[in-house]
Structure 1
Amino acid sequence: MYGILAPIDAGWERASRWPLVIAKRSSAREKLRMNRIRDAAALAITLAAVHAYAGPTPSAEPIDPDLTAETRSLHAALQAMTAAPTIQFGQHLADWASAVQNTGQVVISDWEATAGSRPAFHEWDWIVALNGSAGNYTTNFAAVNRIRQQYEEGAFIGFCWHLPNPALEGQPGNNYDRHDDEPAVPRLLPGGDLHDHYVDNYLDPFADMLEQLHADGTPIPIIMRPYHEPGFLQVNGSGQATAGFWWNWSSPEEYMALWRMTVEYFRDTRNLHNLLWAYSPNWPSSQNYYDRWYQADYVDICGGDQYRSPFDQNPEFSTPLSYAITRGQADGKIVAYTEMGAQGLAQAGGAGNDWWHGRVYAELAPSASDVAYALTWANWGADQFYIPPPNAPAAARADFNAFLATDEINHFAEMRAEFGDIYATVARCSSSDIAEPIGVADAFDAIEYARRFGAGCDGGTDSPIDQSDLLGFQTAWLGSVNSVSPDGNDAVLVSVTASSEGFVAIQSTRAVSASGFAALGLFVEPVSQSFSSGVLFAQTGPGWVWHEGPVAGVATAVENALSIDPQTLAHPSDVRGWGVQLYGANAFQNATLRISPLTEPAQCGAADVAAPIGVLDGDDVNAFMAELLAGCQ
């Protein structure tokens, strides 16, 4: 561990319904931002400490010179992880797919239920991020909300691409492994007959989805892993290809042109500067595909993929990994085991009971000082899982937990303890210092300034809920939700239809923490239609314990406050579902509700520096920061 600095519990924020003011209680998200400033110092210590390890620290700059500050920090943290003697372990779709729950309705991941911990790395997929089909792809906001939650938790996040073959669009059974001896890649490149169609109907919707991945306006850093396992085709005795992704049905030159086109589209055309790019050939041809299909100027992370049988006593995971390590060290790149695991654990019985700790660990541990992270595949169901679900035999679950407990393998909490906040950023400025630790004016000074004048503030209520949480509203058990759309910067408009009894219940499963807040609440305003009363409800903890606030009258065209005291919740830091019930409408009545977080401003008594409130407030902090950061680099 590298000595994380003490948390800072002060700050400023833009209240959702008021001018910029100092809040009596800093929000959880604001504390997260401040702690990221703080943890930049810890990250600097980490980067210095890794030089003592056996593994070399990657030196290559990111391929995008204009990365966001948070993404550049993630790149630096991954460099440190590559050299550190630990591997950060993750899973594909851990919070989306399950062996015991319906896909997309996972409440507690199989990983968390089996191990009591969380993955350090979460990888998502094209097939989950978008709904619909070509020409009608739309963003899956349920997935976006889960990703935002993982980012705010502090894990790192990636995307693998399993997209259907654009050359076979509309054909039955078309998916990512359909090629029909029809090379698609040349047709997608500039000048090809499907180039514009591919950009408009495949890349564009995915870029639109990526633009939704932000937290409080900060783009979420993403590891992009498109067109994985290049060149890998299974062939029959006649030499005909029988399986393999459609992008593999190409020459090395065509594949590399497709990769370049994709990177340049997202980076240069769509100006998405929160992306790192991972290349992941498949064993047993990894060395060939690093020699012939790889281009260092378009890759941030050198990876490798391999799956074996749980009956293999020597799975040889170290072999393909060695190719990635060799190439990565030669080019100064981050190194990762981008996919690995056992196919058939569900059918292996006792043969799989020493798979993780007995065999996988023996293969991975010697490379811990050369590899940043490793990923196993999704638990797609009861007959296809890669980590033991909670209903697996006790011996299998104990084996996976023993693997996670080793010194070389980190789950999320261990990664956080070792590397701090991997998104932490600090500006170094040229003017005079007020607060330590950097010695020049920096964001710590703005925090100290806020602390000094915020001491006289009183009043004010913050909210653990923001607009992105409200966009997750859906039908609960009474009436129906017809649509949800943003209204301004903090509210949403919810179109509902009452039940036959005149009731409406809407809920969001966007998890929030109400710990440390004065209230968990919402303003609910029926725009024109009338209701008589309403109540806020919440479900907390692993058991989804039910709570209700006091019933309150609900008037039309008025912001009606519905709330719960967090101190009455069984698990205030783990609110898994919440929403409102409204009563007194006509049967099957259609209504529009304007809903916003319950917040109130804090007023401070000191002198004003900057408009508009007339007292010392958050605008003064902004004015101070503008002067303070004028010399930043």
Structure 2
Amino acid sequence: MTIKTLLFWGSISALTFSCTSKNDHSLVDENASPETKALFHNLKELSQNQTLFGHQHATEYGHGWQGDENRSDVKSVTGSHPAVIGVDIMGFSGVPEEEINKNMESLRKNVIDTYERGGITTVAWHFSNPVSEGRFYWVDSVSLPAVNYIIPGGGEHEKYKEILTTVGTWANSLKAKDGTLIPVIFRPFHEFDGDWFWWGASHCTKEEFTDLWKFTVSYLRDSLDVHNFIYAFSPDNRFNNEEEFLERYPGDEWVDMVGMDNYADLGRDRYDIETAAKKLKIVSDYAEKAGKLAAFTETGLESIPDTTWWTETLLKTMQMHDAKLAYVLVWRNDIHSQTHYYAPFPGHKSVPNFMEFYNHPYTLFEKDLKNIYRLEK
């Protein structure tokens, strides 16, 4: 039995003891499914000593391939899928209905497959602008500030409710072979402190953004009976203290997980792991104080030119201040591009260092997870 496995089972044993008397109403949804509550509490416990590794679109496609059954670049390198698989519901609006239905079914299968293997899904939303041309990016010549239009009282509010109905229908279709409703981590409106998305800080007020967040959660939870979402709040890295981190925070009653996206400090613009670690500590400390999960919701170094990036940059950043992180997720591996990838594939020069990262007691991959959706009585 490896050190990593011993640490995992030690965490689960502690969890079994501590959760028998703990109130399960930590989630913003008091009616969350038993598996959703179990996932929340298990992630909280595991994050005290270890962090799950995640990869965006890991099993949908990778470096030079697409749609292969039970494949991921990470599995091809290590023998295990990532513990956390990132998907995106960007295809649930802004395209013809036939395409929406196809996208819903494809992602439904992906989530089910991940659950049946014992893994976890996190759901991003690169939401096409619902009131103007263009997609999720802000384009000065065509984009409209959609947040003001789709919040309660806005001219396109009913249209937004229709889009959320699609999301809710999909959420309630996520059922395992035995009929269990599958939990996912839902991370809408990410990197809202930047201005590259139409929901960014330059395109809506703080009040408009928090109104959008609150309505989204309440409509999914209370009107559409979605009870398998863990709601994640994740700005980019444009903060230096807790006050700045919480500038657009809707309140503890509306958020289950707090996170941060940070590429800039880990090699994209500069190597400043001390600053990155300080920001992760701010996120982690707030989560501990508020009873939330914390996560490093997006990061990575495109093409991974630094062959020791996994242990000397990423691992050191996460461990520097003992941040309690449920998971870290690196971005996708493009199908066609020779340079746009964030996880190694067979033959990549960072594979030896990634294997050190994989074997480290701190990191957990899909094969390391046991009964993540259950609380022992």
Shift of 1:317: 2.7
Counterpart secondary structure, 1:318: helix
Q: In the alignment, which residue of structure 2 is the partner of 1:558?
A: none
C-alpha RMSD of matched pairs (Å):
2.7
| Aligned with residue 127 of structure 1, among 69, 72, 90 | 90
Is the contact made by 2:36 and 2:373 (CA closer than 8 Å) also made in structure 1? yes
Residue 269, structure 1, aligned to residue 249, structure 2: no
- Counterpart of 1:324, as a letter, is V
| Aligned with residue 210 of structure 1, among 171, 174, 181 | 171
| Aligned with residue 303 of structure 2, among 345, 363, 385 | 345
| Aligned with residue 43 of structure 2, among 68, 78, 85 | 78
For 2:280 and 2:126, the matched residues in 1 are separated by 23
Q: In the alignment, which residue of structure 2 is the partner of 1:292?
A: 247
Residue 377, structure 1, aligned to residue 331, structure 2: yes
Q: In the alignment, which residue of structure 1 is the partner of 2:29?
A: 64
Is the contact made by 2:187 and 2:231 (CA closer than 8 Å) also made in structure 1? yes
**Matching of residues 471-620 of structure 1 within 5 Å:** none
Shift of 1:107: 5.2
Counterpart secondary structure, 2:131: helix
Q: In the alignment, which residue of structure 1 is the partner of 2:291?
A: 332
In structure 2, list runs of 5 or more residues that go unmatched: 1-5
For 1:318 and 1:222, the matched residues in 2 are separated by 27
| Aligned with residue 99 of structure 1, among 60, 63, 86 | 63
Shift of 1:369: 5.6
Q: How many residues align?
A: 356
Q: In the alignment, which residue of structure 1 is the partner of 2:15?
A: 47
Counterpart secondary structure, 2:61: coil
- Considering fraction of residues, name the structure with more strand: 1
- Counterpart of 1:370, as a letter, is K
Is the contact made by 1:139 and 1:208 (CA closer than 8 Å) also made in structure 2? no
Shift of 1:258: 0.3
For 2:96 and 2:212, the matched residues in 1 are separated by 19
Shift of 1:163: 1.3
Residue 323, structure 1, aligned to residue 293, structure 2: no
Counterpart secondary structure, 2:186: strand
- Counterpart of 2:246, as a letter, is D
Shift of 1:139: 4.7
In structure 1, list runs of 5 or more residues that go unmatched: 5-41, 52-56, 234-243, 427-437, 439-633
Is the contact made by 1:111 and 1:117 (CA closer than 8 Å) also made in structure 2? yes
Q: In the alignment, which residue of structure 1 is the partner of 2:3?
A: none
Is the contact made by 1:247 and 1:255 (CA closer than 8 Å) also made in structure 2? yes
Compute the TM-score of the two structures, normalised by the length of structure 2. 0.86
For 1:361 and 1:58, the matched residues in 2 are separated by 33
Q: In the alignment, which residue of structure 2 is the partner of 1:225?
A: 187
Is the contact made by 1:306 and 1:320 (CA closer than 8 Å) also made in structure 2? no
Shift of 1:330: 2.2
For 1:314 and 1:290, the matched residues in 2 are separated by 19
Residue 305, structure 1, aligned to residue 261, structure 2: yes
Is the contact made by 1:188 and 1:194 (CA closer than 8 Å) also made in structure 2? yes
For 1:44 and 1:271, the matched residues in 2 are separated by 30
Change beyond 3 A, Cα 1:286–1:369 = closer
Compute the TM-score of the two structures, normalised by the length of structure 1. 0.53
Which structure has more relative contact order (CA 8 Å, sep 6+)? It is 2
Shift of 1:78: 1.4
For 1:307 and 1:63, the matched residues in 2 are separated by 29
Change beyond 3 A, Cα 1:307–1:263 = same
Is the contact made by 2:16 and 2:375 (CA closer than 8 Å) also made in structure 1? no
Counterpart secondary structure, 2:253: helix
Is the contact made by 1:368 and 1:408 (CA closer than 8 Å) also made in structure 2? no
Residue 405, structure 1, aligned to residue 359, structure 2: yes
Change beyond 3 A, Cα 1:310–1:264 = closer
Residues 537-578 of structure 1 show CA distances to partners (whole Å, capped at 9, x for unaligned) of xxxxxxxxxxxxxxxxxxxxxxxxxxxxxxxxxxxxxxxxxx
